[in-house]
Amino acid sequence: MDLQTITYLVVGASFALYIGIAIWARAGSTSEFYAAGGSVHPITNGMATAADWMSAASFISMAGLIANMGYGGGLFLMGWTGGYVLLAMLLAPYLRKFGKFTVPQFIGDRFYSQTASTVAVVCLLVASITYIIGQMTGVGVAFSRFLGVSSEMGIYIGMGIVFAYAVFGGMKGITYTQVAQYIVLILAYTVPAVFISLQLTGNPIPQLGLGASISGTDISLLTKLDQVVTDLGFNQYTTSVPGSTLNMFVYTMSLMIGTAGLPHVIMRFFTVAKVSDARSSAGWALIFIALLYTTAPAVAAMAKMNLHATVNTAVGLETAADGSLKVNPEVIKANADVYAPEASLVYEQRPEWMKRWEKTGLLKFEDKNGDGRIQYYNDKTKNEAAKAKAEAAGWKGNELTVNADIIVLANPEIALLPNWVIALVAAGGLAAALSTAAGLLMAISAAVSHDLVKGVFMPNISEQGELRAGKISMAVAIVIAGYLGLNPPGFAAGTVALAFGIAASSLFPAIMMGIFSKKMNKEGAIAGMLAGLAFTLIYVFAHKGIFFIKGTEFVDMIGGPNSFFGITPEAIGAIGALVNFLVAFIVDKMTKEPPEHIQAMVENVRIPRGAKAVDGAH
């Protein structure tokens, strides 16, 4: 069977499975719709949370980013996992004890203020909608590359599928579909990694393979990779940090706090039966997430090795008789010269996968020195030795550009793995994007129907009426997300940073103070949220334009790019959170303390006893 047919079969089967689950798990009440009836087992919830959390960015982009950044890419690995420690200890169990459906409802009740709740709804909507656009774009990319349909068609199909199971199934349908999606995406991620780890190191476990020696030699994989990339003028893989160490520190902190403050993740912990389940469920979620996150650095380093080896035979891998990539220990040990004229791959003899990806424009070759061979190196290097060697060899500049997003999607093709593995990766990428989109839609729908429609405009709405409002707002959100995915305002990459920045600087501090500071009053909380949000938005918009519209950047007005101690706009959320805490405490000290019954409520939230089923009563 050819690749196209297998891909259709695998992706089609996975979609049939998701829809089947949705039909089986239809939601009948608001409690089932928002919180799956509060009856999900902690391990099941952990798996669903993992699928919810791992988006197209984790699945498709992260390993490519790490491959480019090297050691510094660890900020994504630590940042996107370390947030679960904060979530498990500082937020999840207390919010579960509080026992309501949504994050804005907690903020509104705890700070006895409709205004506080409305500010939280706005933060939630901006964070969730910006995040969802990236998922829809990811769905479009995966469809257009693997199924040969247009990107637009891909987004329509994606919208239809999400609509089917999110609108009818609610949180219950989403939860069980996400369990299935987790299984698809984790297999799709780890199976190719196991194959590649075996090829390169003989160790089937990628996490161990990354720290092992290359097959048939006693040279460690990372040492060899460091040597190859430094020879070619790139930064040493295991030590390179883009930007400053301070920026890596703050960036990691922002991702951690942002992770803990993202409403669609927090909401998952309302679906478990008990406070103690909320604690352990975060641990299970992290185990399932870690399966992918500890594999990703292996995928990154090994794919980078394979890519260099494909275009430069002096690295020491060769194509075996059966068409797979295999190690040649003699060449590896000999440290052959990567600048030798015959080492560079002849363009006409390039493998099939390069031809396929050239069509998408994500891989480009330009023969600058006209020798018909591909020279892939860093032509802007500060390494004088590498520069001199490249000039002596007659190289006239780097000739191959590789988009970072290819690393995961083309990884099985680069390693010349069988077609069914490639098809599985397509299904995995779609599962990652769809599961996150569904979780975000759930958070948006709950905020609109529960916190705005019921909480503000129509307090007397019936349960059936609220359920209908929830489904309608979800359908509207799908259409808006689809529209923005089809007409990307050119800010897909920047928006994800904004979503984390907003969650970190507005929602996380407000919730945390609501639990840990009994005397925090509404004036302090509202002022803090607005200050944190304003600081973050101004810093991001100064660099990237107001609402990411090109030409409206005002970076000179804040003192030039990265003016705040060299911190990049992607990393600013943690500083925004600090501003939030400071402003909240100052305003709190100047205004009167919260009423007695609110302080009693905080004391009650702090102890697990008396936890009841989650409900929506205001």
| 274 forms part of the interface with other proteins (CB under 8 A) | yes
Pairing assessment for the beta strands 345-346 and 373-374 based on DSSP bridges:
antiparallel
Q: Residue 556 is encoded by which pair of tokens?
A: 């000179």
Cross-strand bridge partners of residue 327: 317
Q: Residue 212 is encoded by which pair of tokens?
A: 């092992």
CB nearer to other proteins: pick between 297 and 429: 297
Within 89-148, the residues that bind other proteins by CB under 8 A are 89-90, 93
CB nearer to other proteins: pick between 282 and 414: 282
Rounded Cα distance, 516 and 152, in Å: 47
Only segment of 1-9, 23-31, 247-255, 578-586 that touches other proteins (CB under 8 A) = 247-255
Task: Compute the least distance from the CB of residue 273 to other proteins, in Å.
Answer: 9
CB nearer to other proteins: pick between 154 and 514: 514
CB nearer to other proteins: pick between 73 and 545: 73
CB nearer to other proteins: pick between 248 and 510: 248
Q: Choose which of 519, 550, 606, 618 interacts with other proteins (CB under 8 A).
A: 606
Within 27-66, the residues that bind other proteins by CB under 8 A are 66
How many angstroms separate the most distant Cα atoms in the chain? 81
Task: Compute the least distance from the CB of residue 223 to other proteins, in Å.
Answer: 7
CB nearer to other proteins: pick between 69 and 311: 69
Contact status, residue 348 vs residue 356, Cβ threshold 8 Å: no
Tell me the chain's radius of gyration from C-alpha atoms. Answer: 25
φ, ψ (nearest 5 deg) of residue 517: -120, 100
Per-residue contact track with other proteins, 522 to 561, x per CB under 8 A? ----------------------------------------
| 84 forms part of the interface with other proteins (CB under 8 A) | yes
Q: What is the dihedral of CA 67, 72, 76, 81, to 10 degrees?
A: 120
CB nearer to other proteins: pick between 74 and 465: 74
Distances (CA, A) of 389 to 233, 284, 305, 399, 518: 10, 51, 21, 16, 66
Q: Choose which of 11, 56, 69, 210 interacts with other proteins (CB under 8 A).
A: 210
The residues near 461 (Cβ < 8 Å, ≥ 6 apart) are 453, 454, 469
Rounded Cα distance, 79 and 608, in Å: 29
Pairing assessment for the beta strands 317-319 and 345-346 based on DSSP bridges:
unpaired
Task: Compute the least distance from the CB of residue 580 to other proteins, in Å.
Answer: 19
User: Quick one: which H or E segment has residue 114?
Assistant: helix 114-146
Q: Judged by CB under 8 A, how many residues of this single chain contact other proteins?
A: 52
Give the per-residue SS3 of 215-277.
Answer: CCCCCEHHHHHHHHHHHCCCCCCCCCCCCCHHHHHHHHHHHHHHHHHCHHHHHHHHCECCHHH
User: Quick one: which H or E segment has residue 432?
Assistant: helix 419-446
Only segment of 69-77, 367-375, 381-389, 547-555 that touches other proteins (CB under 8 A) = 69-77
φ, ψ (nearest 5 deg) of residue 325: -90, 130
Task: Compute the least distance from the CB of residue 252 to other proteins, in Å.
Answer: 7
CB nearer to other proteins: pick between 456 and 607: 607
Q: Choose which of 211, 323, 489, 559 interacts with other proteins (CB under 8 A).
A: 211
Q: Choose which of 125, 424, 577, 611 interacts with other proteins (CB under 8 A).
A: 611
Alpha-helical segments (H) within 322-383: 329-334, 352-360
Only segment of 29-37, 269-277, 341-349, 483-491 that touches other proteins (CB under 8 A) = 269-277
| 248 forms part of the interface with other proteins (CB under 8 A) | yes
Instruction: Return the closest-CA partner of residue 574 out of 487, 491, 497, 470.
Output: 497
Rounded Cα distance, 202 and 205, in Å: 9
CB nearer to other proteins: pick between 422 and 575: 575
CB nearer to other proteins: pick between 52 and 451: 52
| 238 forms part of the interface with other proteins (CB under 8 A) | yes
The site for other proteins (CB under 8 A) is made up of 66, 71, 73-75, 77-78, 81-82, 84-85, 88-90, 93, 207-208, 210-213, 220-223, 238-239, 245, 248-249, 252-253, 274-276, 279-280, 282-283, 286-287, 290, 293-294, 297, 603, 606-611
